[in-house]
């Protein structure tokens, strides 16, 4: 036996026969299996760490806040050890800014080492993890993440329905640390926004927006998934919009619809599928609205949407002040900030707790761009903003190019990843985690799946190969 190929003696009469191939798959252990399992653990902890903090281990709610941090650090270090951590402008720039930010925070800012480390971990651990995921995962892994999300969406929708109709004192509405006051956030008409399995209600919008991107993708390519859970997840996303009382979730779903239409415009053969899907969704939504269990949250959501728009100046006010994260205001006010900022980490909830003793206040800015500039000053703050914008632009361009070959996966993930990565509130652990996953799986979706290794033995016809009968036959691996 030579390598993986066994030379088979052939009868004399077969030596002059036509060429034929004997192929068999060779199973090889994935060298990145440990890293992949770590990424899966990061993903599952992102979704269920809030449940651990509220229901399972409420006494450990504080350390569980950073349960993904050592995992992110381990993944980045292991990837670096295996030469799987890219050394590009994005990664090197963020790590350098994080390191310098620690020094300037101690020398010119708040002076709290723990706060500085907590703030710098975002740039030095979690952001590089995006590229580790992109290097370790491939398209097949991204599909597996999507299928898992589809299955999780169904019980998650049931959970937020229970939270919506239950009082804040109910077990399903327990707050972090088992807080009996409840984990919901004021919504409208006496109802509270449900947090699902997350520590705060923003996790609900982010999860169902994440799920919506996969729902639209799988409907465009339905052969890659079982229809039954896909239908269940579709209904789950639909009912989650009013149940969540979240305008953010509505905007994410609308973004998915817009990106789907753009994808179809590049591939008109899918137009029929989309028209049928839209008609079915309208009929389903109309039918659900007749049910009292769905009509009530729909009324609450409509009231919330109308009153909030009036308060914030209509749709334009919501778009500028809410979804763009106060970008314009952050730029205008940047000249009023200290050159090195107030210190990295000060704008986080942990920073507020350690410095001011109250994690509910914003010591710098609620908007992401304002926080970055306020923490690190004009040069470093704008550098982080520029890196995030440049990274998102590259993702969007590469994903759009994939549409020309009928590949919708990275484009649909970008539908919610563009604004999230560009201006998502990374000071909040749940938002940071989803943005890391979104950026990583978008990069991975742009890669081709690892091909199975097939060993092939070829016996060529002497007349074609012009080789003597006694010449050893060639073996090929494709």
Q: Helix crossing, 202-220 with 271-289: angle to 10°?
A: 140
Per-residue pLDDT of the chain (478 residues; tens, 9 = 90+): 444 444 444 555 444 444 444 445 555 788 899 999 999 999 999 999 999 999 999 999 999 999 999 999 999 999 999 999 998 999 999 999 999 999 999 999 999 999 999 999 999 999 999 999 999 999 999 999 999 999 999 999 999 999 999 998 899 999 898 888 887 777 778 889 999 999 989 999 999 999 999 999 999 888 889 999 999 999 999 999 999 998 889 999 999 999 999 999 888 887 877 787 788 888 888 888 788 888 889 888 888 888 776 666 555 555 555 555 566 777 777 778 889 999 999 999 899 889 888 776 778 888 888 899 999 999 999 999 999 999 999 999 999 999 988 899 999 999 999 989 998 999 999 999 999 999 999 999 998 755 443 333 333 444 444 444 444 444 333 3
Of 146, 403, 150, 446, give the one whose Cα is nearest residue 261.
403
Q: What tokens does 193 get?
A: 């926004």
Name the E strands within 253-385. Answer: none
Query: What is the model's pLDDT at position 472?
Result: 43
Q: How many Cα atoms within 13 Å fall on the side-chain side of residue 104?
A: 25
| pLDDT tens per residue, range 14-63 | 444 444 444 455 557 888 999 999 999 999 999 999 999 999 999 999 99
**How far, in Å, CA of 119 to CA of 99, rounded?**
10
pLDDT at 195: 94
Instruction: Report the pLDDT value the prediction gives residue 312, as an integer from 0 to 100.
Output: 61
Q: How far is CA 172 from each of CA 153, 159, 165, 431, rounded to the nearest angstrom?
A: 17, 8, 10, 22
Q: What local confidence, expressed as pLDDT, does residue 309 receive? A: 67
How buried is residue 339: exposed, middle or buried, by Cβ count under 10 Å (0-12/13-18/19+)?
A: exposed
Which residues are registered as beta bridge partners of 2? Answer: 5
Per-residue DSSP letters for 155-178? HHHHHHHHHHHS-TTSGGG--GGG
Residue of 205, 94, 142, 124 lying closest to 407 (CA atoms): 142
Q: How far apart are CA 301 and CA 248, in angstroms?
A: 12
C-alpha R_g of the chain? 26
Return d(Cα 402, Cα 410) in angstroms, integer.
Answer: 8
CB 120 within 8 A of CB 102: yes
Q: What is the pTM of this model?
A: 0.85
């Amino acid at each position: 036996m030579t390598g993986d190929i066994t030379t088979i003696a052939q009868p004399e009469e077969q030596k002059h026969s036509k060429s034929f191939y004997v192929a068999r798959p060779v199973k090889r252990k994935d060298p990145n299996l440990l890293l992949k399992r770590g990424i899966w653990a990061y993903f599952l902890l992102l979704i269920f760490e809030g449940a651990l903090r509220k229901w399972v281990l409420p006494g450990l709610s504080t350390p569980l806040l950073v349960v993904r941090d050592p995992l992110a650090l381990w993944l980045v270090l292991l990837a670096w050890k295996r030469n799987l951590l890219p050394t590009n402008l994005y990664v090197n720039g963020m790590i350098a800014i994080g390191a310098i930010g620690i020094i300037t925070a101690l020398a010119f800012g708040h002076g709290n080492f723990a706060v500085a480390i907590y703030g710098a971990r975002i740039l030095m651990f979690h952001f590089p993890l995006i590229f580790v995921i992109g290097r370790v995962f491939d398209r097949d892994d991204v599909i597996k993440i999507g299928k898992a999300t589809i299955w999780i969406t169904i019980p998650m929708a049931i959970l937020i329905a229970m939270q919506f109709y239950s009082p804040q004192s109910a077990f399903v509405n327990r707050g972090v640390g088992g807080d009996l006051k409840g984990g919901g956030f004021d919504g409208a008409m006496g109802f509270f926004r449900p947090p699902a399995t997350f520590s705060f209600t923003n996790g609900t919008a982010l999860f169902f927006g994440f799920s919506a991107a996969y729902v639209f993708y799988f409907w465009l390519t339905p052969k890659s998934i079982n229809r039954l859970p896909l239908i269940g997840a579709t209904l789950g996303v639909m009912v989650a919009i009013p149940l969540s009382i979240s305008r953010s979730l509505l905007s994410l779903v609308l973004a998915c619809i817009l990106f789907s239409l753009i994808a179809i415009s590049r591939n008109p053969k899918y137009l029929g599928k989309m028209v049928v899907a839209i008609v079915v969704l309208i009929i389903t939504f109309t039918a659900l609205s007749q049910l009292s269990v769905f009509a009530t949250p729909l009324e609450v959501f409509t009231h919330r949407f109308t009153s909030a728009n009036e308060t914030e100046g209509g749709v334009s006010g919501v778009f500028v002040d809410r979804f763009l994260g106060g970008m314009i205001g952050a730029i205008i006010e940047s000249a009023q900030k200290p050159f090195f900022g107030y210190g990295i980490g000060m704008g986080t909830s942990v920073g507020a707790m350690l410095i001011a003793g109250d994690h509910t206040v914003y010591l710098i800015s609620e908007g992401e761009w304002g926080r970055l500039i306020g923490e690190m000053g004009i040069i470093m703050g704008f550098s982080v903003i520029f890196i995030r914008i440049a990274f998102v632009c590259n993702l969007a361009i590469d994903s759009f190019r994939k549409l020309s070959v009928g590949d919708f996966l990275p484009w649909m993930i970008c539908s919610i990843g563009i604004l999230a990565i560009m201006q998502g509130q990374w000071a909040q652990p749940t938002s940071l985690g989803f943005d890391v996953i979104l950026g990583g799986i978008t990069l991975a979706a742009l890669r081709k799946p690892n091909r199975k290794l097939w060993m092939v033995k070829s016996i060529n016809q002497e007349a074609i190969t012009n080789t003597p009968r006694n010449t050893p036959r060639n073996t090929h691996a494709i």
